[in-house]
Structure 1
Amino acid sequence: MDPAVTTPARPLIAIPARFAASTSALRYAAEVNARALVEAVWRAGGEPATIHPAEPTAAGVAARLARFDGVLLPGGGDLAPYRYGATDTHDSVYDVDDLQDAFDLEVARQSLDLGLPLLAICRGLQVVNTALGGTLHQDMGGPDREHRHVVHPMAIRRGSLLEQATGAEKVEASCYHHQRVDRTGAGLTITARAADDTVEGLELPGVLGWFAAVQWHPEDTAHEDPAQQGLFDALVGAARDRH
């Protein structure tokens, strides 16, 4: 029998691209996603599809997302502070791109409105928080409150989707961020925190589809840590269940 007939199609997971000024393999500016992120979706049984950030209107983004089974909002540079109502910009803010911001924010809004399963990672968490009216600390301060290039324990709330996905109430998480949630957006609940009280997980009770957001980078260690891979498994599983 033809394997193409018997093998079920992988759920299609949209991942907005990140703009890059250059890459080693290409001569010009590029649109990229982290290989570890794409591989984690693939291991979970999903078909990762990078989508081009363009024309960030509500109707346009909704129409483009309609063909997908789930969405992953990845990490990246900082959101422009004016997006969450700040009037000044901290010196540490980097890689702001207005089109990237507008597109990601609309992807977050439309994914939640459409009930598409959504996993938001690092910048992705901050995008969802901002899209729902929340605010961010533009910079977390000195070395005692830096979360760059560190692995540290994370406490997960019992009964949360994060606990269900990871199978744990505490995980070791790979972090790379200098900003964090200040005020949470409308309806969001905090489901994970670091020891210094930094918000590390958000969920939205009552949302139409599966949704979880983490401030850390589960893709960094997902290849060797089942708890981290569990987040991608949960996203792809929810995408498959939509059928």
Structure 2
Amino acid sequence: MSTHHPSTPRNLPVVLVPACSKMLGHHPFQAAGQKYLDAVRLGGCLPLVVPAAQPDDVNALLSLADGVFLTGSVSNTHPRHFGEDVHDTSLPLDEARDAWTLPLVREVLRRGMPLFGICRGLQETNVALGGTLYQAVQEQPGLMDHRSRDEDPVDVQYGPVHPVHVQRGGVLERVLGLGDLQVNSLHGQGIRRLADGLRAEALAPDGLVEAFSVPQSSGFSLCVQWHPEWRADENPASRKLLTAFGRACQAWRAAHHRNEDDDLAPET
């Protein structure tokens, strides 16, 4: 006889975390920031870092997963994916990540699997679905400079900088309630045109879209431009967001992997 033990690591929802391409010395590496992995765990899930994959690998990878967590990164989504040339060649790109996360996003949402995106994750989701980006938000008339300063201490870079106004009737309102939320701001790119079918969930004071959801997907979906993963355990709003994502992943696992969990449970 076997029993179900939802608290054991083998029965936690598995969340795919795409890695970024990094050069360490003379050698290429695939890496994911520790703060993102900690955030996934804070939501009650087990992070699985996935190195650069091929688009053909997407279905096989998703068969292992109960959700997808798209991290922020120093790299930008290549502008050729929204019909533009590179504006500033000094800024890093990650075409290996683009190559498989863009089709990954589309398949995750088609399935209704939970999706959470942060900063670059918001931008690549918008691009994957046909939206466009400002490559340099700070150069646009009427928009603020949303970048952090490299010379500032990291606590200042990730400290609250401006409010975002939560829009009525969406995912953020259900999770956090209405009103303003103080967020950090560390991005140079931003949403120019929201992809068709996406719903703006929060706006910065200058009108820039800072969060959106995907109403046509049957599952939980939320992408935010700020960094809720930073010291998330100390931030009530961040904890609520990660918990909501984690519960959605748990529901997906219960609906799709129930028999697997029973087979893996220890005998009693």
TM-score (norm 1): 0.89
2:261 corresponds in structure 1 to: none
1:186 corresponds in structure 2 to: 196
2:171 counterpart of 1:161? yes
Whichever residue aligns with residue 40 of structure 1, its letter is: A
2:216 counterpart of 1:206? yes
Structure 2: gaps of 5 or more residues: 149-156, 255-268
SS at match of 1:14: strand
- Structure 1 residues 44 and 15: CA distance shift in structure 2, 3 A: same
What number of residue pairs does the alignment pair up?
A: 236
- Structure 1 residues 207 and 4: CA distance shift in structure 2, 3 A: closer
2:21 corresponds in structure 1 to: 19
1:99 corresponds in structure 2 to: 96
1:30 corresponds in structure 2 to: 29
Which runs of 4 or more aligned residues in structure 1 lie more than 3 Å from their structure 2 counterparts after TM superposition? 3-8
2:107 corresponds in structure 1 to: 110
Q: Deviations over 1:211-237 (max 9, x none)?
A: 011011111141211101221111110
SS at match of 1:48: strand
| Aligned-residue CA RMSD (Å) | 2.3
Whichever residue aligns with residue 85 of structure 1, its letter is: G
Structure 1: gaps of 5 or more residues: none
Whichever residue aligns with residue 112 of structure 2, its letter is: G
Identical-pair percentage? 34
Q: Work out which structure has the larger RCO, using CA pairs closer than 8 Å and 6 or more positions apart in sequence.
A: 2
1:43 corresponds in structure 2 to: 42
Give distance in 1, aligned partners of 2:218 and 2:4.
32
Q: Deviations over 1:64-86 (max 9, x none)?
A: 11210010011121111110111
SS at match of 2:229: helix
SS at match of 1:213: strand
SS at match of 1:113: helix
2:119 counterpart of 1:122? yes
Give distance in 2, aligned partners of 1:6 and 1:90.
49
How many Å apart are 1:124 and its aligned residue?
Answer: 0.7
TM-score (norm 2): 0.81
Give distance in 2, aligned partners of 1:5 and 1:67.
19
